Amino acid sequence: MDKTRVSQTVVITGAATGLGYAIADQFLQRGDNVVLNGRTEAKLGAAAAQLGHTYRVAVVAGDITQPGTAADIVERALKRFDRIDVLVNNAGIFQTRPFTEYTAEELDRYLGYLRGTFVLSQAAVRQMRAQGTGGAIINISTILALNGVAGVPSSAPIAAKGGITALTKNLSIELAADNIRINAVAPGVVPTPLYGELGYEQLEALHGMQPLGRYGTPKDIADAVVYLANAKWVTGVILPVDGGVDAGGDGTSRLGKSYLTTNARTEETFVGSTLSL
């Protein structure tokens, strides 16, 4: 930890496990304060205890898709740490399904996370403007919002992620005069607890599908988030963190063998891992 730097207060949604937990850990290691949000108070409490640094951690249980949660998060952050410097919109859900099989109710569930991101970002921007020192918002998108994959039917969740991705670009210009930087990370394949246990063959297959020869880790994503939170001349960027997949490559050609599977259950496991929320 650099003892000369000023600590930031970082709000992270979806912070109990997976990417959100890793992001919180990285900021804490840098000496920052973190406000953890998630739907389940018990999971948040367990995450906070495991992270340690209890004097620099606040917990706010609540569903970000529900009215009032954004205000609760901001209120808790200000009561505990007096300010908000960084917001990481990480919370989300994901399930693959053919386009014509999604229901309107399911679409509304996914779009609830777009709405939650919008409303919490509004609340954070109001506070950042009041502070007068700028700030940073990092949205967690997905490479599937940049390039469709035929074997990954996910139109409903990607409608929400696509909206968040477009919002990132739009707000980066609108809020530039306030020195509030808006960026997004677009993860590739990052297995997290959300997808259950993966077998050895599945994990090896995931490694082989990446141009850099391995799938990502939550820390890979957290490193990118921390970079964007502190890169003072970067805004409006959708940063793929995907082992090279978005560049147009795949690991099967590099390794000279095919790792593709036609097993529906295995494919869905891989699909779920792509969003890694």
**Is 151 part of a structural domain of the chain?**
yes
Q: What is the mean pLDDT of residues 14-19?
A: 95
pLDDT at 252 over 90: no
In this predicted model, what pLDDT tens digit does every residue of 147-170 receive, in sequence order? 877 777 889 999 999 999 999 999
Distances (CA, A) of 153 to 45, 99, 156, 272: 35, 7, 9, 11
Q: What is the mean pLDDT of residues 238-242?
A: 94
**Is 200 part of a structural domain of the chain?**
no
Structural domain containing residue 15? 9-192+216-243
In this predicted model, what pLDDT tens digit does every residue of 47-62 receive, in sequence order? 999 999 999 999 999 9
Give residue 246's pLDDT: 84
Give residue 198's pLDDT: 57
**Is 259 part of a structural domain of the chain?**
no
Distances (CA, A) of 211 to 74, 107, 240, 243, 252: 40, 33, 13, 6, 8
Indicate which CATH number applies to the domain containing 141: 3.40.50.720
**Is 76 part of a structural domain of the chain?**
yes
Higher-scoring residue by pLDDT: 146, 89: 89
> What's the structural domain count of the chain?
1
**Is 39 part of a structural domain of the chain?**
yes
**Is 269 part of a structural domain of the chain?**
no
**Is 199 part of a structural domain of the chain?**
no
Q: What is the mean pLDDT of residues 213-218?
A: 85
Sheet of strand 33-38: strand arrangement: 57-61, 33-38, 9-12, 86-89, 135-140, 180-187, 238-241
**Is 157 part of a structural domain of the chain?**
yes
In this predicted model, what pLDDT tens digit does every residue of 91-105 receive, in sequence order? 998 888 899 999 999
In this predicted model, what pLDDT tens digit does every residue of 165-207 receive, in sequence order? 999 999 999 999 999 999 999 998 787 655 555 566 666 666 6
